[in-house]
Amino acid sequence: MTENYDNLNDLQIDVLKEIGNIGAGNAATTLSMMLSKKVAMSVPQVKIIGIQEIANILGGPENQVVGILFTLSKDIEGMMMFILKQEFAHLAVNQLMGRELESFSDFEEMDLSALKEIGNIMAGSYVNAISSLTNFEIGISVPGIAIDMAGAILSVPAIQFGKIGEKVLFIEEEFIGGDGENVNSYLILIPEIDSLHKILKILGVEL
């Protein structure tokens, strides 16, 4: 029996990757609508990796990033966290709020709300992907947001998952805007271990 992500086999990882792919596709579509510009996306990279490695991908543990956190409930319990680097956050806020922001210290309450809304839509995209594949009903909380050191933000999912393992499911997506600018979003998905079992079982890859 799979105790945690560290022991998943290739087939099980492929199934989780597929959920990531479908979710990313949904997310690109909704993001295009929201930013009212065409947003293409690269094939998302889905990895099962340690928190420290994620901190490095995000530019080091002290790099300032945006974390948007949701809790999942009903059939699937756990957490979902979006992480956006500065470029993504600026692009999104500039586009949505129609103003040029240079740094995080310029962000106001309205800008944070805009980011939360993007988080909502992106989280919804992934949750819908899981729901449509599994027929599970998944509840999603209102978002919590933090702008701080990547390592500090990552401590929250790390701790949540730390009780059962060292690694988490990490989805990295590259969005390519119409003007050719690239921005990456990062998603960490942490179902409770029972919920992970349920997902894998219903998709036919439980061992």
Partner 1 sequence: MSKTIIIGISDLNIAYPPDVLVTYALGSCVGICLYDSKTKVAGLAHVMLPLSTEVKDKSNLAKFADTATLELIKRMEKAGAEKGRLVAKLAGGAQMFALQEGNEAFNIGKRNVIAAKQVLKNLNIRIIAEDTGLNYGRTVELSPETGTLKVKAIAHGIKEI
Residues 76, 24, 121: CA angle, nearest 5 degrees: 70
Of residues 11-50, which lie at the interface with partner 1 (CB under 8 A)?
Answer: none
Residue 202 touching partner 1 (CB under 8 A): no
* Cross-strand pairs, 46: 171
Q: What size, in residues, is the chain? A: 207
Residue 195 touching partner 1 (CB under 8 A): no
C-beta of residue 165 within 8 angstroms of C-beta of residue 50: no
* Cross-strand pairs, 129: none
Q: Which of 15, 29, 42, 61 binds partner 1 (CB under 8 A)?
A: 61
By CB under 8 A, the count of residues binding partner 1 is: 33
Q: Which of 8, 79, 80, 169 binds partner 1 (CB under 8 A)?
A: 79
Residue 10 touching partner 1 (CB under 8 A): no
- Cα dihedral 109, 113, 83, 32, rounded to 10, equals -140
Binding range to partner 1, per CB under 8 A, among 29-37, 51-59, 94-102, 194-202: 51-59
The distance of closest approach from Cβ of residue 68 to partner 1 in the complex, given in angstroms and rounded to an integer, is 9
> At residue 110, what are phi and psi to the nearest 5 degrees?
-60, -40
C-beta of residue 153 within 8 angstroms of C-beta of residue 55: no
Contacting positions for partner 1 (CB under 8 A): 51-52, 55, 60-62, 64, 67, 69, 71, 79, 105, 141-142, 144-146, 148-156, 158-160, 162-165
